[in-house]
């Protein structure tokens, strides 16, 4: 008789949990999984996917504006939010079904309830008595939004609630200027909502390359987003006509809604990890080794609940490596280098590798190549927004360490650049690559002049 009910029990059916459960089952393990909300997790239900659909939906306003230069008449334009959000939710429901059926097909037992650990091998479920047992436990519980500790914080919504809005607000204040704040600022702005962003830092998007940060901030301001930096909030008050956000240096902003985009904390407490002595870092994230094993031998963790990069493909990679290691007999560490990242703002950011500032801090000598130019499409549409392409090179080895793009299709470009950077591409190899013309991406293989601080390369015509 089997000693345990399951070879593997996964807590959390998000990006990491579903992938690990499926692969372990395909490798012959008996697997159970618990999910307290909806199968699919943050990415599918209230993160990447519905957000990107809203990005598409909101981008039509600028597409229609651009279309006029191309001869189109675009009059009486307005967005029907109930239609948009209904269609987004329908796609989320479809994906929720796809994920559920995937688990079903692999024979993974699903428990749609909250799980907790009663021992290193024992799981309790909120909707029933007794315990289940498993040889290996995988914690893939993700993270949740955190709100600033100010008076009136109960009036705040997070990105989660944005997907539940039945009506579009006339105005919104977004607190925080990380990637989620910038994406939702662009979404609401594109849909015609008056957006004010309040951020305590000096510039948006901490940790990104400074040219991207400055470039996006300028472009968003030009598109009408009121970005206020170095601004702390003091309190939030409900009034007859909305919510008043009081600023700590005086003054206030009134809006129909106030959204906090002030970071996410791991779901790592309140379900038994503390009692079992699973080590967590200062920020509560589970400490794991290169194989995602925690300080307790049979307990592993992947995704946002751990202290690594918090992105869907990273959670999926970690889960894949975990299943290969534990159930496939192939110890597989996760390589976290050169992870491409996007900010699906308008305009968009796509980036991979080191920011110029980081490279300068760790390398003796670096070369920078930059191009700022108006894409061909804008010449006729009349859009006055500059695209930015930037390469960070290790001067000694000629290796490309960072590639940063701001403008249309930046994320798609960064994904392909990531392959080259991961393979160790040098600047000389980029230079020897034939350009694909006319594209914006061709700029990455046609930049010939090093950027010198006082003489920025302004304008560039790859075809000239
Ligand atoms: C608004 C937003 C936009 C994002 N956009 C992007 C993007 O464009 N690209 C990208 O790569 N990443 C994006 N992310 C990040 C991405 O969603 C996460 O990195 C990814 O979902 C992490 O996967 P995970 O498996 O670690 O956790 P999750 O997907 O969060 O899954 C964890 C699951 O565990 C469940 N759970 C928690 N505790 C318990 C318990 N005790 N019992 C049972 N179930 C439990 C939760 O309900 C949840 O479903 C975005 C995130 C947000 C919030």
**What pLDDT, in 10s, does the model give residues 284-336?**
999 999 999 999 999 999 999 999 999 999 999 999 999 999 999 999 999 99
From the list 86, 246, 317, 437, the catalytic residue is 437
* Ligand 1 in reach of 315 Cβ (< 6 A): yes
* Ligand 1 in reach of 51 Cβ (< 6 A): yes
**What is the per-residue pLDDT for 368?**
98
Would you say residue 110 has pLDDT above 70? yes
* Ligand 1 in reach of 271 Cβ (< 6 A): yes
Query: What mean pLDDT comes out for the span 73-86?
Result: 95
437 is catalytic: yes
pTM of the model: 0.95
Residue 392 Cα to ligand 1 midpoint, Å, equals 31
Q: Report residue 276 as tokens.
A: 């079992």
**What is the per-residue pLDDT for 452?**
86
Query: What mean pLDDT comes out for the span 169-180?
Result: 98
Give, using CA atoms, the residue closest to atom 50 of ligand 1.
Answer: 47
**What pLDDT, in 10s, does the model give residues 199-243?**
999 999 999 999 999 999 999 999 999 999 999 999 999 999 999
Residue 94 Cα to ligand 1 midpoint, Å, equals 18
Q: End-to-end CA distance of the chain, in Å?
A: 75
Asked whether the beta carbons of 127 and 113 are under 8 A apart, the reply is yes
Taking the C-alpha atoms of residue 408 and residue 346, their distance in angstroms, rounded to an integer, is 8
**What pLDDT, in 10s, does the model give residues 2-13?**
699 999 999 999
**What is the per-residue pLDDT for 282?**
85
Q: Report residue 435 as tokens.
A: 């350009």
Residue of 9, 10, 14 to test ligand 1 pocket, by largest number of atoms within 8 Å of CB: 14
Asked whether the beta carbons of 59 and 346 are under 8 A apart, the reply is yes
Closest alpha carbon to 32 in 159, 152, 122: 122
Asked whether the beta carbons of 256 and 170 are under 8 A apart, the reply is yes
Would you say residue 129 has pLDDT above 60? yes
Would you say residue 457 has pLDDT above 70? no
- Counting from 1 in the atom list of ligand 1, the atom nearest the Cα of 319 is 25
User: Strand order in 242-247's β-sheet?
Assistant: 233-239, 242-247, 252-255
Residue of 48, 112, 157, 261 to test ligand 1 pocket, by largest number of atoms within 8 Å of CB: 48
- Counting from 1 in the atom list of ligand 1, the atom nearest the Cα of 264 is 53
Would you place residue 1 in the very low, low, confident or very high pLDDT band (cuts 50, 70, 90)?
low
- Counting from 1 in the atom list of ligand 1, the atom nearest the Cα of 113 is 43
Asked whether the beta carbons of 212 and 388 are under 8 A apart, the reply is yes
Would you place residue 464 in the very low, low, confident or very high pLDDT band (cuts 50, 70, 90)?
very low
Cβ-proximal residues to 360 (8 Å cutoff; 6+ apart), any chain: 366
Would you say residue 459 has pLDDT above 80? no
Percent of the chain whose predicted confidence (pLDDT) is above 90: 96
Q: Report residue 400 as tokens.
A: 């490309």
Residue 145 Cα to ligand 1 midpoint, Å, equals 11
Taking the C-alpha atoms of residue 125 and residue 95, their distance in angstroms, rounded to an integer, is 25
Would you say residue 463 has pLDDT above 60? no
Would you say residue 271 has pLDDT above 70? yes
Give, using CA atoms, the residue closest to atom 6 of ligand 1.
Answer: 48
**What is the per-residue pLDDT for 453?**
76
**What pLDDT, in 10s, does the model give residues 386-397?**
999 999 999 999
**What is the per-residue pLDDT for 435?**
97
* Ligand 1 in reach of 15 Cβ (< 6 A): yes
**What is the per-residue pLDDT for 82?**
97
**What is the per-residue pLDDT for 458?**
55
Average pLDDT, rounded, for the chain:
96
Percent of the chain whose predicted confidence (pLDDT) is above 70: 97
């Amino acid at each position: 008789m089997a000693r345990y009910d399951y070879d593997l029990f996964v807590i959390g059916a998000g990006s990491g949990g579903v992938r690990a459960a499926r692969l372990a089952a395909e490798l012959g393990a008996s697997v159970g999984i618990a999910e307290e909300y909806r199968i699919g997790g943050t990415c599918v239900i209230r993160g990447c996917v519905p957000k990107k659909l809203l990005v598409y939906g909101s981008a039509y306003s600028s597409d229609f504006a651009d279309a006029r230069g191309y001869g189109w008449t675009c009059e009486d334009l307005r967005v029907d939010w109930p239609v948009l959000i209904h269609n987004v939710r329908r796609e989320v429901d479809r994906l929720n079904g796809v994920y559920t059926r995937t688990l079903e097909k692999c024979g993974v037992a699903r428990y749609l309830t909250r799980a907790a650990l009663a021992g290193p091998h024992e799981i309790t479920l909120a909707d029933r008595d007794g315990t289940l047992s498993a040889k290996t436990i995988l914690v893939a519980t993700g993270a949740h939004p955190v709100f600033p500790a100010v008076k009136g914080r109960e009036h705040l919504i997070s990105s989660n609630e944005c997907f539940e809005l039945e009506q579009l607000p006339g105005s919104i204040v977004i607190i925080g200027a990380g990637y989620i704040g910038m994406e939702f600022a662009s979404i609401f702005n594109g849909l015609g909502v008056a957006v004010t962003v309040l951020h305590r830092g000096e510039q948006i998007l901490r940790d990104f390359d400074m040219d991207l940060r400055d470039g996006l901030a300028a472009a968003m301001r030009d598109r009408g987003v009121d970005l206020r930096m170095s601004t702390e909030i003091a309190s939030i008050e409900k009034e007859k006509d909305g919510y008043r956000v009081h600023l700590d240096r005086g003054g206030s902003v009134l809006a129909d809604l106030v959204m906090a985009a002030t970071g996410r904390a791991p779901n790592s407490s309140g379900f038994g990890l503390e009692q079992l002595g699973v080590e967590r870092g200062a920020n509560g994230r589970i400490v794991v080794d290169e194989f995602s094993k925690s300080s307790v031998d049979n307990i592993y963790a992947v995704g946002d609940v751990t202290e690594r990069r918090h992105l869907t493909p990273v959670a999926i990679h970690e889960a894949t490596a975990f299943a290969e290691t534990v159930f496939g007999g192939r110890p597989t560490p996760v390589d976290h280098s050169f992870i491409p990242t996007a900010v699906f703002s308008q305009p968009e950011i796509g980036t991979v590798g080191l920011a110029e500032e980081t490279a300068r801090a760790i390398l003796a000598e670096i070369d920078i190549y930059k191009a700022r130019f108006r894409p061909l499409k804008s010449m006729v549409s009349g859009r006055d927004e500059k695209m930015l392409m930037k390469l960070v090179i290790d001067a000694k080895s000629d290796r490309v360490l960072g590639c940063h793009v701001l403008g249309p299709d930046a994320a798609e470009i960064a994904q392909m650049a990531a392959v080259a950077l991961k393979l160790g591409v040098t600047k000389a190899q980029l230079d020897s690559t034939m350009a694909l013309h006319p594209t914006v991406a061709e700029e990455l293989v046609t930049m010939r002049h090093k950027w010198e601080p006082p003489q920025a390369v302004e304008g560039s015509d790859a075809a000239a």
